[in-house]
Structure 1
């Protein structure tokens, strides 16, 4: 068991870090101020650098590397901001991977290469007004009519909503109750019958658009079915990888905060010396480092153990839950150590704190991850409705 990155992984990490640090801080600040997503031009630059679809198979335009390599890149971009990292997250661990694993060959070749070239962004649409943590209560329906699928319903809290070019939509595809009736369909942004609500104004995640999706007899080709009714388990297996991505986006807030505050405490002087010379600061820094390292190791374990498939629900939930919790704690400590500079919106620290809270809600709330963990430990699901 080797806990060091190999030469190729280190080179990839360095390339991602150099690009992110040199090119993206000003862009991240602008996206935050305007609550706007990265431009198409920037996403194409990501593609040119090889940062999109890192772990996607080469026949679909990806680099064909592993999940670990993809998450290494995600973290370096997430250290700058969630907004600049989000297109990489979506291309490496998001809904594109569900299409790659379960979609038809025609759908894969129509969608995935465009994502890897930076031509389109694909988002996932799962939650509904009455189906968030209780996802199997979703009501959006998809009815097969000849060569088409017709969707009706409302989806909520879709990150990328109104901006992404395509959506992996979880929907009810049969009258079977609960998970048995659920599948997923790929829906293009311009599909007839699909409209969007306004861009949500959130505490954080500025630059990651979120809106409702409204389906009113929305028509898509039948070949856009990714998973038919009864495929909910497959969808959640793919989502275990997205949990690892969520954990890494969360980790990026913490590790980026730690790197910045470490430089700050060595420069900031009070009472005639750098504040890092005070033992209280030293203890807090050590605690922050322990939490960041522990979260990263949990993520790396889940990724390394998934190289022949998808992460396990236990390991991905452990990684997400822990990273979500420590990112809130570490960014909070960083704000405190930097004082007014940490609290000011002129600097990125308070943005990291706000985004850290968001990642613990998105993709399955922290407490839901804990029920997943316990279910995996004992080998059975719990009936939350009983």
Structure 2
């Protein structure tokens, strides 16, 4: 067991860090102020730099590297902002990986390389008005008719909604109750019968589009079935990798906050000396560092253990839960250390705190992760309906 990064991994991280710090702060600020996603030409630049599909096999246009390499890059971009990191999140640990693992050869060949080239953005559509944490209550239905699948229903809280080019839609594909009837299909944005609600105005995640999606007799080719009915377990196994990405996005808010506040406390003077000279500030900084390092180790453990497959629900839930919680704590401490400067929208620290809260809701709320952890510990699922 070696916790050291290789020279290649260090160089990759430095390349990502240098690019992100030099090129992205101004774009991140524009995304935040205008609630707009990064421009398409930036995503193309990501592709040219090799930042998209880092852990996707080379045969599908990725770099063919490991999960650790992908998460190292993702954290450096997330330190700048969630908005500018989101395209990397979607390409490395998002729904495109479900297509890669479970989709037909035709679907994989059509979608995955396009994502790695920056030509296509793929989002996930899971939640519904009455099916969030209780995901197996979803009602969106797909019915196969010959070589077509007809989709009806709606999705809510879709990150990328209205902006992404395609969506992996969780839906009911048979009359079997609960999870047994659920599968997923890939739906392209311009499919007839697909429409979008207005963009959500969220507390954070500005620059990460979100909207309802409506399906009204939307017809898609049968080859766009990602997982048929009964494949809910497979879908959630793929989603366990997305939890690692969620945890890394949260970690990026925390580690970026610590880097910023570390510089601030050495420059800010009160009572005739830098505030870092006060013991209370030193203790707070140390606590922040401890939590960040622990979160990173948990995330990287999942990534390493999943290198030849998909991560376990226990490992991924532990990492996500802890990273989500410490991101809220660390960014809150950073705001407090910076005082009025931390609370001001002019300096960006409060944005980190708002985004940190969002990652603890997205992708399965913190308390749901704790239920997953307890279930894995005792070896059975708990029936929340009784």
TM-score range, shorter chain: over 0.9
Give the corresponding residue for 2:143.
Answer: 143
Give the corresponding residue for 2:58.
Answer: 58
Give the corresponding residue for 1:206.
Answer: 206
Give the corresponding residue for 2:160.
Answer: 160
Looking at structure 1, the residues matched to 376 and 152 of structure 2 have their Cα atoms a distance apart, in angstroms, of 34
User: Superposed, which structure 2 residues align to 1:29-108 within 5 Å?
Assistant: 29-108=29-108
The Cα shift of 1:206 comes to 0.2
Looking at structure 2, the residues matched to 299 and 320 of structure 1 have their Cα atoms a distance apart, in angstroms, of 8
Give the corresponding residue for 1:265.
Answer: 265
Query: What's the TM-score, normalizing by structure 1?
Result: 1.00
The Cα shift of 1:369 comes to 0.0
Query: SS state of the match for residue 154, structure 2?
Result: strand
Give the corresponding residue for 2:342.
Answer: 342
Looking at structure 2, the residues matched to 74 and 377 of structure 1 have their Cα atoms a distance apart, in angstroms, of 30
Looking at structure 2, the residues matched to 52 and 347 of structure 1 have their Cα atoms a distance apart, in angstroms, of 29
Query: SS state of the match for residue 48, structure 1?
Result: helix
Give the corresponding residue for 2:354.
Answer: 354
Q: Which runs of no fewer than 5 residues in structure 1 stay unpaired?
A: none
Looking at structure 2, the residues matched to 361 and 220 of structure 1 have their Cα atoms a distance apart, in angstroms, of 31
Give the corresponding residue for 2:381.
Answer: 381
The Cα shift of 1:348 comes to 1.6
Looking at structure 2, the residues matched to 25 and 340 of structure 1 have their Cα atoms a distance apart, in angstroms, of 21
Query: What's the TM-score, normalizing by structure 2?
Result: 1.00
Give the corresponding residue for 1:250.
Answer: 250
User: Superposed, which structure 2 residues align to 1:219-230 within 5 Å?
Assistant: 219-230=219-230
Residues 156-208 of structure 1 deviation map (CA, whole Å, 9 limit, x = unaligned) = 00000000000000000000000000000000000010000000000000000
Give the corresponding residue for 1:289.
Answer: 289
Looking at structure 2, the residues matched to 64 and 310 of structure 1 have their Cα atoms a distance apart, in angstroms, of 16
The Cα shift of 1:83 comes to 0.1
The Cα shift of 1:378 comes to 1.0
Looking at structure 1, the residues matched to 88 and 325 of structure 2 have their Cα atoms a distance apart, in angstroms, of 23
The Cα shift of 1:332 comes to 0.2
Looking at structure 1, the residues matched to 87 and 335 of structure 2 have their Cα atoms a distance apart, in angstroms, of 27
Give the corresponding residue for 2:24.
Answer: 24
Looking at structure 1, the residues matched to 148 and 348 of structure 2 have their Cα atoms a distance apart, in angstroms, of 47
The Cα shift of 1:209 comes to 0.4
For the pair 1:321 / 2:350, whether they are aligned, the reply is no
Give the corresponding residue for 2:280.
Answer: 280
The Cα shift of 1:29 comes to 0.3
Looking at structure 1, the residues matched to 114 and 342 of structure 2 have their Cα atoms a distance apart, in angstroms, of 39
Q: Which runs of no fewer than 5 residues in structure 2 stay unpaired?
A: none
Give the corresponding residue for 1:115.
Answer: 115
Number of residue pairs aligned between Structure 1 and Structure 2? 386
Query: SS state of the match for residue 11, structure 1?
Result: helix
Residues 293-326 of structure 1 deviation map (CA, whole Å, 9 limit, x = unaligned) = 0000000000011001011100000000000000
The Cα shift of 1:341 comes to 1.1
Query: SS state of the match for residue 306, structure 2?
Result: coil
Looking at structure 2, the residues matched to 220 and 347 of structure 1 have their Cα atoms a distance apart, in angstroms, of 46
The Cα shift of 1:87 comes to 0.2
Runs of 4+ more than 4 Å apart: none
Looking at structure 2, the residues matched to 280 and 22 of structure 1 have their Cα atoms a distance apart, in angstroms, of 33
Residues 228-274 of structure 1 deviation map (CA, whole Å, 9 limit, x = unaligned) = 00000000000000000000000000000000000110011111110
Looking at structure 1, the residues matched to 163 and 328 of structure 2 have their Cα atoms a distance apart, in angstroms, of 28
Give the corresponding residue for 2:332.
Answer: 332
Query: SS state of the match for residue 80, structure 2?
Result: coil
The Cα shift of 1:120 comes to 1.1
The Cα shift of 1:59 comes to 0.6
Give the corresponding residue for 1:132.
Answer: 132
Query: SS state of the match for residue 79, structure 1?
Result: helix
Residues 34-74 of structure 1 deviation map (CA, whole Å, 9 limit, x = unaligned) = 10001110000000100000000101000000111111111
Alpha carbon RMSD of aligned pairs, Å? 0.4
Query: SS state of the match for residue 127, structure 2?
Result: coil
Query: SS state of the match for residue 347, structure 2?
Result: coil
Query: SS state of the match for residue 37, structure 1?
Result: coil
